[in-house]
Amino acid sequence: MNEPTTNPSIDVFLAALAGFTPAAVVEFKYYIHFDAATRNCATKSTEKSESCLELSREEYEAIAFCPHYRVTADNKLVKKRVDYSSSKLLQLSDTGFRTMKDNNIFVVDDTYTGETDNWTLRELDESDN
């Protein structure tokens, strides 16, 4: 035990700590859970399930959005490629959907008297990625 101090409260505290053993460091295991049929990733967690793949901490933290990944038949995690053949992008236009100014969520009709923007859809291509 340590030498007594001039403060009895500290002596009591140090005596209580004399037998203290810190808890063991727990190493987590990281998993990504996927659909067994499609092999598309659904969620990530530290709990194991039937259809999951164990990852390193670095791989786990690099995955921002699970549905962008899939697990191959040989249990490797790969990022999905974007299919540009059916993707569309909104762009400002002189014609198209009429919306509230600076808010393309609210489509308006001809009776709306506030400021508006017009939006059209265009095909998404590789340059938009």
Q: What pTM was estimated for this model as a whole?
A: 0.49
- Strand, helix or coil for residue 80: coil
CB 60 within 8 A of CB 44: yes
Please provide the average confidence, as pLDDT, over all residues in the chain.
85
Contact (CB, 8 A) for 107 and 74: no
pLDDT average, residue stretch 86-101:
85
More confident residue, 105 or 114: 114
Residues contacting 74, CB < 8 A, separation 6+: none
Place of tokens 């299919």: 83
pLDDT band with cut points at 50, 70 and 90 for residue 126: low
Q: Which residue has the higher pLDDT, 16 or 117?
A: 117
DSSP structural state of residue 127: G
Q: Is the pLDDT of residue 59 over 60?
A: yes
Average pLDDT over residues 101-118: 90
pLDDT (0 to 100) of residue 57: 92
More confident residue, 51 or 8: 51
Q: Are 39 and 70 in contact (CB under 8 A)?
A: yes
Q: What are phi and psi of 59, to 5 degrees?
A: -65, -45
Residue 42 exposed, middle or buried by CB count within 10 Å (0-12, 13-18, 19+): middle
2-6, 14-18, 50-54, 121-125, range with greatest mean pLDDT: 50-54
User: What's 40's DSSP letter?
Assistant: B
